[in-house]
Each structure stands twice: as structure tokens, then as C-alpha cells.
Amino acid sequence: MNSTVNCSINRPVFRWSFIAAISVCCVSLVQAHPAEQGLILLLPTDIYISAGVAAFALTVVLVGLLPSAATDTLFKTLLLTKLPNCSKIILATSACSTVFVLFLVLVGSIGPLDPKANLLSLTIWSGWWIGLVLLQGLIGNVWHWINPWAGLLTMLDGVLKPSNRPVIPKALGVWPAVLIFLSFSLFSIVDPTPADPTRLAQLTFSYWIMTTLGMMIFGYQPWATHFECFTLFFKLISRISPFQYGSELRVGFPGWALVNDRKSSYSLAIFCLVILGAGSFDGLGETFWWLAKIGVNPLEFPGRSAIVAETVFGFFVVNLSLCLAFGVCVFLGVYLANNGSETNSSVPFRPVFVQQALAMLPIGFGFHFAHFLPTFLVDSQYNLAALTDPFGTGADYLSLGKINIYVGFLSVSSIVHRLWLTQAGIVVLTHVIAVLIAHRTSKVLFSTRRKALLAELPMSVFMFFYTGFGLWLLAAPRGA
């Protein structure tokens, strides 16, 4: 199937820019790990990447010109209703989640060996790592209701009545969670067979046991705060959602909870940047450019096991480089804003670094959403088939009948075109949200509009170049 674009230069420039910006997002983001890229938009890469970066730069400029009253109004929230105390319900759903996790471990151990037929593999990589992340960012903290520890630990505490638990120092921050999340990301990127049911069952059960023991010794909340990286990850992603609920249900502009978050922890900021850095290298490690740099012919890819050392090295270099570049830009912004200010009116580096790192979360979420959307549309079908027949015996426990897996839509141009437009909308929207959050954060932290804009300037440059890198990354041909 051929796809061409008329490159006549007598068309209006703004139309070219719009088409180019949309095209780069759409064509690139169809690529996902389990599904190879099937269609390539025949538009010059340098044109649509340049147009996409220019469009982003224009967005930054326009946001900087917004009146202060407009940004204040944008992040106001609306109280929808007061909520009843649901703690007992949450404990019950968490306990059910515990049972389901143990059932998945059993299925992974004795069920089908094919990852596309095993309920554990499909639930972890499709239902949990893709579907649940999307729900967190769209409707709020679903993980709070279904995490597989809260209910169990509450029941154990009621029986054992522990006392004099050791205390985890607050100075430890979330550094343990950062290290565990890095290990998980490395596993998903480096391991030759991360979806192998037997090994995945062993790793899932080991992590569940380790976390359970840690929570029994130190308490649920202390361990979840400092060590349990997935509870922290899902909580951060849920802050992007327009819906936030606890004792009341509030709705507002996406990311309003991030603007109102006043936490000041370097380890939390690094965790946010690692989320973005891990996702960036996940894509970079598959490109022709990277494979050429490590001496691998992308057309004769030898497999992950042949490039473990190079992948681990590249993973840490990308994450370290991202954190350093981000820190330098924040430092320059703080310096420009504080230059000439009295000491007692200057803003320290730490809160700006943390708040601006939180503002990067929507970008990571947007790429995750768009990147895995085609995969989710396919693997969710396999997931449903495995759910009704978890042990591969031909059973139909959910009475769904024969489930035909439909993947042909990825080769139908009209459907793929709509998919491209959806992905493009996701990426553009989350980038705009990130810019607005960063702008609002600067306005809150700095006393004058001039200082806020000066503080934003280096960060805008950082996001400008990162957008260019991201667009190139998503458009680059892949060989891994």
C-alpha cells in the first residue's frame, strides 16, 4: 500500500505546518514493542520534525503571553460531591486483588507457555502496564483501590498487633523506589524474554513476597512511601487526571493536582525524570541510529541477549544525561530569576527543581499512552481470550464463545489514519498540559511575572530541544 503527500510549495505555510506536526506524531507512535511498524508516511522527516518543534515553540510563547488571571482560572477546581468513607470497601477490593495476583502466579507457573495465551503475561504487560496506567491518567487513582497489599496488611495487623516497628528515616526519601523502578525498567528493556510466563511468575511472586514482608516489618504506609515503586508511580500518574477523590470528588484542568503539590524532595524529582528517561531509551534502543552506534546491523538484529552490556550502558547514560541537563536548565532559570533580588526574596533551587520535574509527567504519560495504544488494542483481545480460558484447556468460563483475534485493522489505511490522528491528539494535548503546568508552577514560586518568565526561559529551551529529540525518536526507523 502506498501513501503519498503532495509537496507543492505554493500551499499556505500554516497548512504545511499543521499537516506536518500532526503527521510526525501519528506515523511514529504506531510503533510499539510487540507490533512492528506497518505503514510509513512518505513525508520528508526534516520538514515535519521542524514544523512540529516550531509548533511547540509557538505554544510556549503563547503560554508566556497569557494573562495571570487566565492561568489562575485555568487551574481552579470544581467540587462535584462529598464522598462517603470507603476504607472498608477499599480493603475488600485490595484483598480480592491479592487473591487475583496469586491466581495469576499460579497460571504463569502451570498455564500455557505461549505469552500470547498466558493470562499472567498478558495481564502484566497489557492490562497492568498499559491499561491501568491509562486509567490512572484519565480517571484517577484506581491503583489505590486494587493494590494487592493494603487489605492483606490491615488484616495481618489486626491479628498480629505489631508494636515497636523500626522506623524508616525520612531522609531516605524515595531513593529505594527509584532503584527498584530502574531495575524494573531495565528488565523490560534488556531481558530477552520479559513475557516468559514461568520466569515472570517467579519474579512477580518474589516481588509480592518482598513487599509483603517489608510492609509487615516497617508498616504498610512507610514501606509504600519509600520502597514500593509502583504505588508511587501510579500515584504520580493519577495526579495528571482531572479527577481527584478522597473525602470529596473534585474536577479541574488535567494536572491541577501537580500544580497544587508542594512536596520538595530531590528523590521524588529524580523518580519523575527516570520515568521519562526510561521511556526515552526504550524507544532509542530500537532505532537504526542506536544500533549503528553499537555496531549492530539493524537488518540482521541478533537479539537482545547479544547487546546486554551496550543496552545497560546506554540506559544509564540517557537517564543520567537527562537528569543533568534538566538540573542545569533549572539552575540557570533560578539564577536568572534571582539575579538582583534581595537574599530574603530569592527562591531556592530545590522547590523549583522538584515542581518542574513534576510538570514533565504529562509528557511521559502522553508518550506511554500513544506508544502502546496499538499494542493495547491487539493484546487486550488476547487478554480476554486468556481470561475465559486461563489454563489453555479449551474452557470458556465467561461464556464468551470463540474469540477471534483481529489484527487486520493495522493494515487498513483508513483505520490506521484515524489511529494516527488519535495518537497525535494525545501527544499534542499532553505537551500543552505540561507547558501550562510548568508556567503555572513558575508563577506560584516566583513573586513577579518577570521573574517567573526568566525562570521558565532555560526550561523552555530544554523542552524545545527535547521535543525535537522526541519527534525524531518517534519517527526514526527501528530495527530491534
Q: Tell me: the pLDDT tens digits for 435-468?
A: 889 989 988 899 888 888 899 889 888 887 877 7
Strand, coil or helix: 70? helix
User: What pLDDT score does 11 carry?
Assistant: 41
Average pLDDT of the segment spanning 342-363: 87
Average pLDDT of the segment spanning 96-100: 96
Q: Are residues 278 and 154 in the same domain?
A: no
Q: Are residues 282 and 185 in the same domain?
A: no
Lowest-confidence pick of 62-66, 288-292, 374-378: 62-66
Q: Predicted confidence band at 7 (pLDDT cuts at 50, 70, 90)? A: very low
Lowest-confidence pick of 30-39, 290-299, 339-348, 409-418: 30-39
DSSP code of residue 299: G
229 or 16, which is more confident? 229
Q: Predicted confidence band at 480 (pLDDT cuts at 50, 70, 90)? A: low
21 contact partners, CB below 8 Å, separation of at least 6: 48, 51, 52, 55, 424, 428
User: What pLDDT score does 14 carry?
Assistant: 35
Q: Predicted confidence band at 48 (pLDDT cuts at 50, 70, 90)? A: low
263 or 274, which is more confident? 274
Q: Predicted confidence band at 4 (pLDDT cuts at 50, 70, 90)? A: very low
Q: Are residues 124 and 159 in the same domain?
A: yes
Percent of all residues in the chain with a pLDDT value above 90, rounded to a whole number: 53
User: What pLDDT score does 35 carry?
Assistant: 38
User: What pLDDT score does 262 carry?
Assistant: 74
Average pLDDT of the segment spanning 418-443: 81
Q: Are residues 37 and 137 in the same domain?
A: no
User: What pLDDT score does 473 carry?
Assistant: 72
Q: Are residues 196 and 237 in the same domain?
A: yes
Angle 148-150-152 from CA coordinates, rounded to 5°: 75
Residue 12: other Cβ atoms inside 10 A: 8
8 or 90, which is more confident? 90
User: What pLDDT score does 361 carry?
Assistant: 95
* Nearest-angstrom CA–CA distance, 407 and 46: 31
Angle 189-193-199 from CA coordinates, rounded to 5°: 115
Q: Are residues 130 and 268 in the same domain?
A: no
User: What pLDDT score does 53 carry?
Assistant: 67
Lowest-confidence pick of 30-44, 88-102, 136-150, 302-316: 30-44
Q: What is the residue type of 43?
A: L
Q: Are residues 452 and 316 in the same domain?
A: yes
Q: Predicted confidence band at 25 (pLDDT cuts at 50, 70, 90)? A: very low
Out of 218, 245, 272, a domain closes at 245
Q: Are residues 181 and 314 in the same domain?
A: no
Q: What is the residue type of 384?
A: L
Q: Are residues 117 and 23 in the same domain?
A: no
pTM: 0.86
Q: Are residues 229 and 135 in the same domain?
A: yes
User: What pLDDT score does 104 carry?
Assistant: 97
149 or 50, which is more confident? 149
**Confidence check: pLDDT of 285 > 60:** yes
CB 437, CB 258: distance < 8 Å: yes
Q: Predicted confidence band at 408 (pLDDT cuts at 50, 70, 90)? A: confident
Domain of 144 in residue numbering reads as 83-245
**Confidence check: pLDDT of 29 > 90:** no
Q: What is the residue type of 125?
A: W
User: What pLDDT score does 340 carry?
Assistant: 64
Out of 190, 224, 245, a domain closes at 245
Angle, helix 45-64 to helix 13-29, in steps of 10 degrees: 110
Strand, coil or helix: 463? helix
Q: Are residues 72 and 102 in the same domain?
A: no
CB 15, CB 51: distance < 8 Å: no
Q: Are residues 152 and 280 in the same domain?
A: no
From residue 80, give the alpha-carbon distance in Å to each of 108, 130, 225, 471: 42, 29, 29, 38
Average pLDDT of the segment spanning 252-277: 90
Mean pLDDT of the chain: 84
Out of 245, 270, 293, a domain closes at 245
**Confidence check: pLDDT of 237 > 50:** yes
* Nearest-angstrom CA–CA distance, 105 and 91: 21
Tally of domains within the chain = 2
